[in-house]
Amino acid sequence: MNRFLLSVLAATCLVANQSSAAQLPRKAAELVIKSPSGMETLLSKYKGKVVALEFILTTCSHCQQSCKILTKMHHEFGSQGFTPVAVAINDMAHMYVTDFIKNLGISFPVGWQLRDSALVFLQHSEMETMMMPQLAFIDREGMIRAQFAGNDPFFVDDVKQEANMRTQIKALLLPVAKKAAAVATPVPAPKKKG
């Protein structure tokens, strides 16, 4: 009997773990991002751009480091249609966002939202611990193509994290780069016979 209960429990845990994984790719749900000044911006405003949407805690050192790397990526790839957006979800986040931006020299939009909104957006179970930061890469059509939690090997160290971000961003920008290269390549003039 004990073996039976253990196997049922193991199977239940396995199914629960599989069902809690976020579906990828998927259409990015609409998200209202609130600014410290009270303005609200819809995530859909960024459609047509490649977006790195990062849910953070303003007091989390990993989140702070990740935002610094995203600032660097923003400077490097912003002119190609890339924009990071950070959303603080810690308690009283609206009180900390302004100082977070100022202290870290963030060059991209940072707002706040309630934790429950992040859970829904990320398809993250309320029953599981949410490891921070949480990062979703969204293509120009508004599809989430990749999603990483703070305990993922994606974030293993600063050097690899930066390389991993660069790889994701370049991959999502690539189709536009190929089209631009094709348009920019001059067609040779036909040779004259004669």
Q: What is the pLDDT of residue 178?
A: 58
* 14: in domain: no
The whole-number average pLDDT for the span 67-87 is 98
Give the span between the Cα atoms of 38 and 32, in whole angstroms.
12
Q: Model confidence over 95-107: pLDDT tens digits? A: 999 999 999 999 9
Q: What is the pLDDT of residue 17?
A: 40
Reply yes or no on whether the pLDDT at 80 is more than 80: yes
SS3 156: coil
Q: Model confidence over 104-149: pLDDT tens digits? A: 999 999 999 999 999 999 999 999 999 999 999 999 999 999 999 9
Give the span between the Cα atoms of 18 and 49, in whole angstroms.
31
* 113: in domain: yes
Token pair for residue 90?
Answer: 């810690």
* 190: in domain: no
Closest CA to 54 of 143, 111, 116, 135: 135
* 191: in domain: no
Q: What is the pLDDT of residue 106?
A: 97
CATH code of residue 139: 3.40.30.10
User: What residue numbers bound the domain in which 95 lies?
Assistant: 23-180
Closest CA to 174 of 43, 25, 48, 50: 50
The pTM of the full predicted model, rounded to 2 decimals, is 0.81
* 193: in domain: no
Kind and range of the H or E run holding 72: helix 61-77
pLDDT grade, residue 5 (50/70/90)?
Answer: very low
* 56: in domain: yes
The number of domains in the chain is 1
Q: What is the pLDDT of residue 21?
A: 80
Token pair for residue 132?
Answer: 């921070």
Q: What is the pLDDT of residue 19?
A: 39
* 8: in domain: no
